[in-house]
Amino acid sequence: MTTHPASDPKDILAPIREMVRACMQCGTCSGTCPNQAVMPQTPRVLWAMLAGGETEAVLESGVFVYCSSCYHCTLRCPRGLPLTEAMAALKQASARANPWAFKATQRFYHRFMASVRRHGRVKEAEFMTWYFWDMKNPFLPLSYLPLGFRLMVKGKVRPEPPSFGGPDALGPLFDRVRALEERS
Ligand code: SF4
Ligand code: SF4
């Protein structure tokens, strides 16, 4: 007997499928998404794949990686569905299911946030140095050289920008968010 994915206890996307169960495929989310042009599928198609139990295809599509959490779709969905949260949940489920695929993204994110916590803003030179160190790939810095140069020419990156609010000024805020996340 075939078990429907929605009732399969091993279906890791079951809770997310439930979040968008009332989708009526109107396409408003796709039409309003600023990142839809670079997504491999539109958000509407993603929700249809999810509803159809296509767990592997949903995870492999990587659509959620392109979501920048702008909340446009959530605000405009006529069903009032928590679409941004569903995208975030898909990112987490995908990272849990295949941690190696997201290794670089996770290291980038952790070093970025560590810099923000320490200085109240990101210090690009420091954060990228630690990221390159984590990645242990001597050729990786070379691939970032053209982008770094363009950003420096435009004054977007400074070698030693000032910190805000003193050392670890944002530490208590970060600790509070972590405590809330662990409780939810
Ligand atoms: S806007 Fe809401 S109802 Fe319409 S396709 Fe998107 S998720 Fe479904
Ligand atoms: S929250 Fe994500 S999916 Fe929704 S409109 Fe913004 S970028 Fe697109």
Residue pair 8/14 in contact by the 8 Å Cβ criterion? yes
**Structural domains of the chain, ranges and CATH numbers in brackets:** 5-97 (1.10.1060.10), 101-183 (no CATH)
153 alpha carbon – ligand 1 mean position (Å): 42
How much is the pLDDT for 184? 65
47 alpha carbon – ligand 1 mean position (Å): 8
- Site to substitute for ligand 2 among 29, 87, 90, most atoms within 8 A of C-beta: 87
DSSP 99: G
Between the CA of residue 174 and those of 45, 109, 128, 182, what are the distances in Å?
35, 14, 21, 12
Q: Which long-range contacts (CB under 8 A, 24 or more apart) does 55-58 make?
A: 55/5, 55/11, 55/12, 55/13, 58/13, 58/90
**Nearest Cα residue to atom 4 of ligand 1:** 26
How much is the pLDDT for 2? 42
Question: 25's torsion region: left (phi>0), alpha (psi -120 to 50) or beta?
Answer: left
Dist. CA 157–CA 123, nearest whole Å: 8
112 alpha carbon – ligand 1 mean position (Å): 33
How much is the pLDDT for 5? 47
N-term to C-term CA, the chain: 35
How much is the pLDDT for 141? 93
170 alpha carbon – ligand 1 mean position (Å): 37
Tens digits of residue pLDDT in 18-49: 999 999 999 999 999 999 999 999 999 999 99
Residue pair 100/77 in contact by the 8 Å Cβ criterion? no
- Site to substitute for ligand 2 among 20, 67, 75, most atoms within 8 A of C-beta: 67
70 alpha carbon – ligand 2 mean position (Å): 5
How much is the pLDDT for 166? 74
**DSSP letter string over 37-59?**
GGSSS-HHHHHHHHHTT-HHHHH
pLDDT by residue for the chain (184 residues), tens digit each?
444 444 455 788 999 999 999 999 999 999 999 999 999 999 999 999 999 999 999 999 989 999 999 999 999 999 999 999 999 999 999 988 887 777 888 899 899 999 999 888 888 888 999 999 999 999 999 999 999 889 889 988 877 777 777 778 889 999 998 898 787 6
Residue with tokens 């809770």: 15
